[in-house]
Amino acid sequence: MLTLYDYELSGNCYKIRLFLNILELPYERREIEFFPGQEHKSEEMLALNPLGQLPVLDDNGFILRDAQAILTYLAQQYAPDSGWYPVTDARRLAETNMWLAFANELTTTSSAARLHEVFGYELDVDKARSGAYELFQILDERLWFSERRAGGWLGSGAEPTVADLACFPYIILADEGGMSLVDFPALRRWNDRIKRIPGFVVMAGVFNTSPGCECACA
Amino acid sequence: MAVSRAEQWFPVATATDLVPRHVFQGELNDVELALWRDDDGCVNAWENRCMHRSVRLSLGVNTGRRLRCQYHGWQYRSGDGQCVVVPAASQTPPPASVSARTFAVAEQHGLIWANLYEPTGTPLNLSEHWQIQDDSQHPLRSFVLHGDAASVTDMLLEYQHCDGQLGASAVSTQSTPGALSLSWTEDGQAQRVVFMLQPARRHKTIVHTLLTVPPTMNEQQLARWELRHNQTMNRLRQRLVESGRLSHMPVPGQEFVPAPPRESTSRARARMFEARVTRRYDAAEGIVAFELEPENEADVGALADFMPGAHIDVTTPADSVRQYSIVSLPGETNASGGRNVPGITLGVKREEDSRGGSIAMHDGMHAGHRCRISRPKNHFRIANNRGALMLAGGIGMTPLVSMAQYMQAAERNYALHYFVRSEAHVAFVERLERLAHYMPHIGLSPQDTEAQLKILLAALDDNSDVYVCGPRPFLDAVVNIAEQVGVSNDRVHFELFSNTISHANDEAFRVRLARSDKELEVPANQSLADVLIDHGCAIETSCEQGVCGTCMVPVLEGEVEHRDVYLSADEKQANSCMQSCVSRAKSSLLILDL
Amino acid sequence: MRIESVIWDEWYPVAIADDLQPGRTCKTQLLGHGIEYGCDSEGKLTAWHAGKPEQQCRTQTRYLTHWVSLGDPQEPFFEVPEDAEPDRRIVGSGSMSVHVSGLRAIENFLDMAHFPFVHDGYLGAEPYTDVEPYTVTTEANGDLYARDCRFFQPRGAASAEDGGGDMEYVYRVVRPFVAFLYKTNPVYPDRMDAIGLFVQPVSEEHCIAHTVLFYLDNDTEDHGLRLFQQTIFGQDLMILSNEIPRTLPLNPGFEMPVRADAMSMAYRRWLSDRGVNYGTYRDQGSQPLPSARSMSRPAASQGGA
């Protein structure tokens, strides 16, 4: 049985719920009040994750922290042939790992800005925002070229990987961090593509989009 | 040379930015835009703000024909931006006054252009302006530079120095306000890039770049150009930021700037567009069918989205405006048009004693004729999810046939009863024959008609409503009989060309305007506000539902029947004012301080 | 800008009492002014202008909430009768900041029509989108009420895990930045759960929403109640951050109401009648909402053509 130590408003937790839903994996949700309860810093949670961070996954006693690591584990353990984590293609695997690391950068910038803006965390929000904007620019450029010469995803394949899911939450939640995506149109189109992946689910603050064009005409 | 603001067309996106079922967030002169393409490919440029609570429309959803706001699900249709669905009141058509703030938009040279004012000019045309062929332009990646448009134009002259291959080659430049062209020769080939500037905000300019593509250029070379341009612009941006000439980041906390107000005449003009009669035929004795479709590419989707029961305004050859109901279903394409564009079919009965609208239509509208029409208006529509007993009298069958076809396609419970003078007067037989639940009643006397209506209404099942359209005596008969047999009036829906608030049991009353010493009649099917406006009173209306308080008028004498939700109970009691869009009179005369 | 007395001389929440650790000094803003505050081991609150401990502010702690005033409040503190009922649980459910005027946050709180679109699967679901008519009244003490509100909810409260039903609501506005929602309790048909939304106007365009529950619900732990409310508010957050302008327009015609908005229109008029300016949108040519009073003096009104 999979157990996810989870907080609704956390983007890093959301990406795990999103992927579990895409893979149609049942799981038990343990809600941990991140704010203002600070339950992720409780003794019980520190025993599971000494870093005091969410999410944490418990797969029948196998305890794993770090959202990106959990994504790759779920892909390889439960959907090894799906292409979500392309281990048999050295280049695509490397690209996926590269963008997974990029997702961590988003946590220290875009997510940090949101922590300040919504939960009142005291941190250098201008630095967080300008760091986030630099990352958005890099992503937007990659996606503009990917739309033309590849599948419109972060990697070079025709299908998305766990890296797309890993980067998605703190992009789509940018507004809540006091940032705008108006200057990053390719990023906004990619948001729509993610929303059309079968099995997509929302979190608080993320909304569904319409089905793609082939289903047409209301 | 000063350019009048009406001529100020600016690029706001590349054509490929507007992918299907997406809402693009844009900016022009500090005004935020929601740009979207409908399923027919038509582009909309709207203020990025839902008229209801000002939530960004770019947070919402492009459903193919409509844009749906994320906050309350209001749906605005492509083209005129008319709000067609307010889910909180799903059974009443939204007031005609509710529409998105639309802007003129055009697609040219692979770019989307918009104009925030009432446009008279056209977007910059390269073949006219610089003799550059239109079909050879390829948009490269657009760049956001955090500086004003004038200084960005100067900065672009440094493009050459940031391009790794161009170096010190001789580059000739041409410029015009908002555009700059660089051309040079490379490996014996003529090369040209054109920059088109979008003044997004006071300190933000977006540079769109068009590459002139010679016929010999292959896909690989083009891909190399895309990379080269991207690199050059990145270098240029970095250089400008490092030298302090451009800001690195967006200016934070950008203020909201409302769209320029609509010019008063533009609203009426925007609501009419040119259509062409693609076919005309006799639908029955005295009834002519007209198949219409939009004449211009820009209006291609204009007749695609309506709810069965809708009508349009038509400017007749006699230059009068008349309303005719649509008999076809939304999305039908007229075979006669040959363009595969959504069109509509109208049925027009020749009324010899009318003021001449129908005669002008019959005598003057032929296949190929062009006329100005409005987009579909939906005062009459299927009101809910229940079944429908449809009662049609004569030419009143037109909206009901559209509704019946819709109900059949949706596999819902309905029956259409058509009361008609003779077999020869039965119109649109081919449509009627496809209906599974259609019953004609031919040549009945008024007494027999009433008897038949009584049978039908008495047998009405609890899960169905009544829809009626026809001449006034027919309509009155249905309303009276329904009341006799105990069908409550909120289950009887009819076409009266008035919206939102049921006027089913309204009575006419009179108003005297104390200051201007006029006395006016407010008929049963018209609001006080409409009558006052028709007689030149400077009354403004907004929500047309008695919610917003805009159309309040002062009352001196007479008893008001308050139907609004704006005034408090005490204020209603005081009887000193009323909301003229919905409220009426309990007394036969009201005296207003107007 | 001078802030009008109706806003300045008023109490504002700065923290839920349970969330403030004794001995810690916190910084925040109120009406654009930096303040610092903290409580002692007894829970007694002190607050002062930022960097000037000698300039103390008025404070008090009520309804599980720490309140501060920069001015000189004249009116008695508003009453919450539910606070005195011994079988109610009073639970703070968090404080979240939003980049929007606090007036817009209150207006959103008073609105049912957004439930199926913003709180899909929680407080509403398509196709149950219609808002039935309800009654809006102003009481003698000035409180604004919406009564007889009904709305279909698939999962109206943390305890209603399975199946939905029609929920009944009462809304109450007591101060420009303070409102209550009362809703059906499945266990006590004749009583209602209450939720207080206490908004701290940080600036004209920023606010912090503090939520306090006065609940009869005995089955769900505090933990579940808090998380449910946080999810609901998290859903509103994205919408509220995307309202432009961020301030609330009071002039009619700038935004278009429908009949379901009777309460929000009444709230706007209620603010307008009190002369509230802070946190409102003031565009060129903006006019106050028409009032019946101006109409009753014919000399003051402008006649038509």
Stretch among A56-65, A179-188, C36-45, C184-193 having the lowest mean pLDDT: C184-193
Here the tokens at position C28 are 């925040």
Strands B464-469 and B492-494: parallel
How much of chain B, in percent, has pLDDT values that exceed 90? 50
Which chain C residues contact residue A191 at CB under 8 A?
none
What distance, in Å, lies between the first and last C-alpha atoms of chain C?
Answer: 39
The average pLDDT across B186-191 equals 85
Report CB contact under 8 Å: B65, A217: yes
Residue A202: count of CB within 10 angstroms of its CB: 16
C73 and C82 Cβ atoms separated by less than 8 Å = no
pLDDT of residue B297: 80
Contact A119 C97 (CB under 8 A): yes
CB contact under 8 A, C230 and A37: no
Considering only the beta carbons, identify the residue of B22, B39, B144 that sits closest to A189.
Answer: B22
B25 interaction partners in chain A (CB closer than 8 Å):
181-182, 185, 188
Hunting for tokens 């609890």 — which residue is that?
Answer: B462
Rg of chain A's alpha carbons, rounded to an integer?
Answer: 17
Nearest CA in chain A to B206: A183
> Which pair of tokens denotes residue A78?
């439960």
Nearest to A174 by CA among A190, A161, A193, A160: A190
pLDDT at B137: 87
Out of C224, C235, C241, whose CB is closest to A204? C235
B414 in Cβ contact with B485 (< 8 Å): no
Read off the DSSP letter of residue B82.
B
CA end-to-end distance (rounded Å), chain A: 41
Q: How far is the C-alpha of C254 from the C-alpha of B53, rounded, in Å?
A: 9
Query: Hey, is the C-beta of A121 within 8 angstroms of any chain B C-beta?
Result: no
DSSP state at residue B247: B
pLDDT of res. A218: 30
B256 vs C contacts (CB less than 8 Å): 244-246
8 Å CB contact between B316 and B361: yes
Place of tokens 């869009």: B581
> Average pLDDT in the B46-56 region?
97
Q: How many CA atoms lie within 13 A of B581 on its CB side?
A: 25
- Of the candidates C244, C252, C302, the beta carbon closest to that of B548 is on C252
Concatenated DSSP letters for A26-51? --EEEE---TTT-GGGSHHHHHH-TT
Q: Give C-chain residues touching B552 at CB under 8 angstroms.
A: 290, 292, 295
Distance from CA of C99 to the nearest CA of B (A): 10
Contacts of C97 in chain A (CB under 8 A): 117-120
Identity of the residue in C133, C301, C305 whose CB atom sits nearest the CB atom of B537? C305
Q: What integer pLDDT is reported at residue B354 of this predicted model?
A: 61
pLDDT tens series, chain C, 305 aa: 689 999 999 999 999 999 999 999 999 999 999 999 999 999 899 999 999 999 999 999 999 999 999 999 998 999 999 999 998 999 999 999 999 999 999 999 999 999 999 999 999 998 899 999 999 999 999 999 999 999 998 875 555 555 678 899 999 999 999 999 999 887 888 899 999 999 999 999 999 999 999 998 667 778 888 899 999 999 999 999 999 999 999 987 899 999 999 999 999 999 999 999 999 998 755 555 666 655 543 333 333 33
The 10 Å Cβ neighbour count of residue B362 is: 19
Question: What Rg, from alpha-carbon coordinates, does chain C have?
Answer: 20
- pLDDT for residue B322 is more than 80: no
Residue A73 and residue A89: Cα distance in Å, rounded?
17
Q: How far apart are the first and last CA of chain B?
A: 48
C84 touches B at CB < 8 Å = no
Q: Which two tokens stand for residue B146?
A: 């955090």
Q: C210, C217, C174: which is closest to C194 by C-alpha?
A: C217
Say whether residue B26 is in contact with chain C using an 8 A CB cutoff. Answer: no
| Strands (DSSP E) found in C57-205 | 58-62, 65-69, 89-98, 135-138, 144-153, 165-175, 178-184, 192-201
Question: Is the CB of residue B149 less than 8 Å from the CB of residue B178?
Answer: yes
Q: Is C253–B516 a contact, with Cβ atoms under 8 angstroms apart?
A: no
Contact residues, chain B, for A183 at CB < 8 Å:
144, 204, 250
| Count of A-C CB contacts under 8 Å | 57
Q: How far apart are CA B363 and CA B318, in angstroms?
A: 10
Residue C89's DSSP bridge partners are C215
**Residue A1 vs residue B472, higher pLDDT:** A1
Confidence of residue B537 (pLDDT cuts 50, 70, 90): confident
What is the rounded distance in angstroms from the CA atom of residue B89 to the CA atom of residue B86?
6
How far does the CA of residue B450 sit from the closest CA of chain C (Å)? Answer: 35
Q: What does the H/E/C string look like for B405-437?
A: HHHHHCCCCEEEEEEECCHHHCCCHHHHHCCCC
d(CA B559, CA B557): 7
Average pLDDT, chain A: 94
Which of the residues B46, B53, B101, B520 would you substitute to probe the C interface, choosing the one with the greatest number of C C-beta atoms within 10 Å?
Answer: B53
Token pair for residue C25?
A: 């000094």
Pick C227's closest partner by Cβ from A31, A203, A205: A31
Q: How far apart are CA B197 and CA A89, in angstroms?
A: 43
User: C208 and A175: CB-CB below 8 Å?
Assistant: no
| DSSP letter assigned to residue A176 | G
In this prediction, residue A194 carries a pLDDT of: 98
- CA-to-CA distance for C17 and B308, rounded, in angstroms? 58
Q: List pLDDT tens digits, range B330-387.
A: 888 887 777 788 899 999 998 876 666 788 899 989 999 999 888 887 767 787 778 9
Measured from the Cβ of residue B502, the count of other Cβ atoms closer than 10 Å reads: 14
Q: Write out chain C residues lying below 8 Å of A122, CB-based.
A: 27
List the beta bridge partners of residue A131. Answer: none
User: Is A88 a residue whose pLDDT tops 50?
Assistant: yes
B351-364 per-position pLDDT tens digit: 876 666 788 899 98
- The angle subtended at Cα C281 by Cα C276 and Cα C285, nearest 5°, is 100
* Closest alpha carbon to B504 in B589, B593, B320, B380: B380
Closest chain A C-alpha to C59 CA, distance in angstroms: 21
Compute the count of residue pairs across chains A and B with CB atoms less than 8 Å apart: 69
The token pair that represents B459 in the structure block: 């047998």
Query: Across the interface, do B89 and C305 touch by the CB < 8 Å criterion?
Result: no
- Residue range B477-496: average pLDDT? 84
The helix/strand/coil state of A3 is: strand
Tokens 């992946």 sit on residue: A197
- Give the whole-angstrom CA distance, residue C243 versus residue A140: 25
Contacts of B15 (CB under 8 A, 6+ apart): B107, B110, B111, B112, B139
In angstroms, the Cα distances linking A68 to A16, B81, C166 are 9, 43, 42
pLDDT digits (tens, 9 = 90+) for B111-120: 999 999 877 7
pLDDT digits (tens, 9 = 90+) for B442-466: 999 999 999 999 999 999 999 999 9
Residues A117, C99: C-beta atoms closer than 8 Å: yes
SS3 of residue B454 by DSSP: helix
Distance from CA of C301 to the nearest CA of A (A): 44
How far is CA A169 from each of CA A211, B29, B162, rounded to the nearest angstrom?
20, 31, 36
Query: For residue B536, what pLDDT is reported?
Result: 80
Contact status of B257 with chain C (Cβ, < 8 Å): no
Question: Using CB atoms, which chains have 3+ pairs under 8 A with B?
Answer: A, C
What's the pLDDT at B301?
Answer: 79
Interface of B with C in 552-591 (CB under 8 A): 552-554, 556, 565-569, 571, 574, 576-577
Q: What does the block give as tokens for A6?
A: 């989870």
What tokens does B468 get? 């009626």
The ipTM value here is 0.95
B306/C156: higher pLDDT: B306
Mutation target vs C (from B69, B382, B566, B573; most C CBs, 10 A cutoff): B566
Q: How many residues does chain A have?
A: 218
Closest CA to B170 of B179, B158, B157, B183: B183
Q: Which amino acid is at C134?
A: Y
Check if A206 contacts C (Cβ < 8 Å). Answer: yes
pLDDT single digits (tens) B18-35: 999 999 999 999 999 999
CA distance B73 to chain C (A): 6
Encoded amino acid at B192, one letter: R
A44 contact C CB<8A: no
* B261 near C CB under 8 A: no
Out of A180, A192, A218, whose CB is closest to B64?
A218
Nearest CA to CA, how far is B103 from chain C (Å)? 18
- With bands split at pLDDT 50, 70 and 90, how would you rate the model's confidence at B491? confident
Report field, pTM of the whole predicted structure over 0.90: no
For B562, which DSSP code? -
pLDDT, greater one: A59 or B184: A59
C-alpha–C-alpha distance, residues B95 and B45, integer Å = 22
B–C: how many Cβ contacts below 8 A?
Answer: 151
**Mean pLDDT for all residues in chain B:** 87
For residue B453, give how far its alpha carbon lies from the nearest alpha carbon of chain A (Å). 35
Contact B21 A209 (CB under 8 A): yes
Please tell me the distance from the alpha carbon of residue C182 to that of residue C165, in angstroms, as a whole number.
Answer: 16
Identify the CA nearest to C102 among candidates C214, C194, C179: C179
List the single residue in B55, B550, B569 with the smallest CB-CB distance to C242: B55
For C150, phi then psi, to 5°, come to: -135, 145
Q: CA nearest B405: which of B311, B328, B290, B292?
A: B328
Please report residues of A whose CB lies closer than 8 A to that of B64. 210, 213, 216-218
- A192 in contact with B at a CB cutoff of 8 Å? yes
Q: Is C66 helix (H, G, I), strand (E, B) or coil?
A: strand
Q: How far is the C-alpha of B373 from the C-alpha of C155, rounded, in Å?
A: 47
Placement of tokens 């005129």 in the chain = B80
Confidence band, pLDDT 50/70/90 cuts, at residue B278: very high
CA nearest to C2, candidates C36, C34, C32, C47: C32
Checking if the pLDDT of A44 tops 70, the result is yes
